[in-house]
Chains A and B, each alone.
Chain A
Amino acid sequence: MGELFATYPILAAFGMTLLLTFFAAIGAAVLGTLVAVLRVSPVPLFQKVGALYVNVFRNTPLTLIIIASNIVMIVNLGFSFTEDIARDNVYWAIIGLTVYHAAFVCESLRSGVNTVPVGQAEAARSIGLTFGQSLVQVLLPQAVRGAITPLGNTLIALAKNTTVATAIGVAEISGLQKTMTEDRIDLILPIILVVAAGFVVITLPMGLATSWLSGRLAVKR
Chain B
Amino acid sequence: MSDAPWDHSPAPATPPSPAPSHSVVTRAPMVEIVGVDKYYGDLHVLQDIDLTVGKGEVVVVLGPSGSGKSTLCRTINRLETFESGSIRIDGQELPEEGKALAQLRADVGMVFQSFNLFAHKTILENVTLGPIRVRKRSKAEADKRATELLERVGVAHQSEKYPAQLSGGQQQRVAIARSLAMDPKVMLFDEPTSALDPEMINEVLDVMVELARSGMTMIVVTHEMGFARRAADRVVFMSDGQIVEAAEPEVFFTHPRSERAKDFLGKILSH
Contact = CB atoms under 8 A, between A and B. Distances in A.
A219 B122 CA distance: 12
B232 interface: no
Interface of A: 116-117, 119-120, 122-130, 133, 137-138, 141-142, 145, 219-221
19 contacts: A117-B114, A119-B114, A119-B116, A120-B119, A122-B79, A123-B117, A123-B118, A125-B102, A126-B77, A126-B108, A127-B130, A127-B178, A127-B182, A128-B102, A128-B106, A129-B102, A129-B134, A138-B118, A141-B120
A6 B22 CA distance: 94
B1 interface: no
A126 B110 contact: yes
Contacts, number: 77
Interface string B129-143: 110011000000000
B106 A125 contact: no
Contacts of B107: 128
A130 B99 CA distance: 6
A122 B134 contact: no
Contacts of B120: 141-142, 145, 219
Contacts of B106: 127-128
Interface of B: 77, 79, 98-99, 102-110, 112, 114, 116-120, 129-130, 133-134, 162, 164-165, 175, 178-179, 182
Given A137-B129, A220-B164, A220-B165, A125 B116 contact: no
A142 B119 contact: yes
B182 A120 contact: no
Nearest to B112: A119
B109 A126 contact: yes
Given A128-B182, A219-B119, A123 B134 contact: no
Nearest to B135: A128
Contacts of A125: 79, 102, 105
B33 to A, nearest CB: 18
A129 B118 CA distance: 13
Contacts of A220: 119, 162, 164-165
A123 B116 contact: yes
A68 to B, nearest CB: 40
Contacts of A117: 114, 116, 119
Nearest to B104: A128
A142 B175 CA distance: 19
A127 B105 contact: yes
Nearest to B163: A220
Contacts of B130: 127-129
Nearest to B119: A219
A123 B110 contact: yes
- Most chain B beta carbons < 10 A, residue from A129, A142, A145, A221: A129
Contact of A120 (B99, B104, B116, B162): B116
B219 to A, nearest CB: 13
A130 to B, nearest CB: 5
The 4 A-B pairs at the shortest CB distance, nearest first, are namely: A128-B106, A127-B130, A220-B164, A119-B116
Nearest to B108: A126
Contact of B129 (A116, A127, A130, A219): A127
Contacts of B102: 125, 128-130
B116 A122 contact: yes
Given A137-B129, A220-B164, A126 B118 contact: no
B220 to A, nearest CB: 15
- Most chain A beta carbons < 10 A, residue from B103, B107, B120: B120
